[in-house]
């Protein structure tokens, strides 16, 4: 699961880079091919819900025959009665097909104040009992650090107050 989390971190950082200027995020399906090469498919569609739904189906079906994959999309989560814009990161490692992890990365878009990234939240850890959660999160942040622009924005914008 560590390689899947590292992949997810890299493309989550890419997503943060995309939304840091207030732009919407086109949902992305990131995956590692059998040869180890990272790939990304943008799931452009006029209807955002349909794009996300198609991405979830591709994630479930593994149509690209990936080793690991992550679906990244923009959504709103509710924490302590507050609605927060977030990137949702659904993570799969296909060698353990029943294992699913979902992270939310809340952020405050630029506007009334500067762009801010808040604490990463674990939303789901299903069928992952055999995996070390701490090692998975370390791998996630290694992936973030691997994306030069995204890591820089993440570092400058981190606000763990939420």
Q: What digits encode the pLDDT tens for the residues 20-34?
A: 999 989 999 999 988
Which pLDDT score, from 0 to 100, does residue 106 have? 96
pLDDT at 16: 97
Contact 73, 25 (CB under 8 A): yes
Q: What is the mean pLDDT of residues 31-53?
A: 89
Could you say which DSSP state residue 129 is in?
T
Q: In which band, very low, low, confident or very high, does the pLDDT at 40 lie, cut at 50, 70 and 90?
A: very high
Mean pLDDT value across residues 63-83: 91
Question: Closest Cα to residue 71, out of 21, 4, 127?
Answer: 4
Write down the pLDDT at residue 12: 98
pLDDT band at 97 (very low <50, low <70, confident <90, very high): confident
The pLDDT value recorded for residue 41 is 92
Question: Of all residues in the chain, what percent carry a pLDDT higher than 70?
Answer: 100
CA distance 103 to 121: 6
Cα–Cα distance list, 10 to 48, 109, 139, 142 (Å) = 22, 20, 10, 8
Coil, helix or strand at residue 161: coil
pLDDT of residue 80: 82
What's the pTM? 0.93
């Amino acid at each position: 699961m560590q390689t899947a989390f590292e992949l997810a971190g890299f493309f989550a950082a890419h997503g943060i880079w995309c939304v840091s200027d207030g732009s919407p995020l086109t949902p992305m399906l990131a995956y590692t091919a059998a040869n180890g090469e990272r790939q990304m498919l943008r799931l452009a569609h006029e209807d955002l819900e349909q794009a996300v739904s198609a991405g979830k189906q591709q994630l479930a079906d593994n149509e690209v025959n990936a080793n690991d994959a992550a679906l990244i999309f923009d959504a709103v989560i509710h924490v302590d009665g507050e609605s927060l814009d977030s990137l949702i990161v659904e993570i799969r490692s296909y060698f353990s097909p029943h294992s699913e992890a979902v992270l939310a990365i809340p952020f405050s878009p630029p506007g009334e104040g500067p762009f801010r990234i808040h604490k990463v939240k674990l939303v789901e850890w299903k069928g992952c009992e055999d995996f070390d959660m701490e090692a998975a999160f370390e791998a996630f942040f290694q992936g973030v650090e691997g994306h030069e622009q995204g890591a820089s924005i993440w570092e400058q914008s981190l606000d763990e107050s939420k």
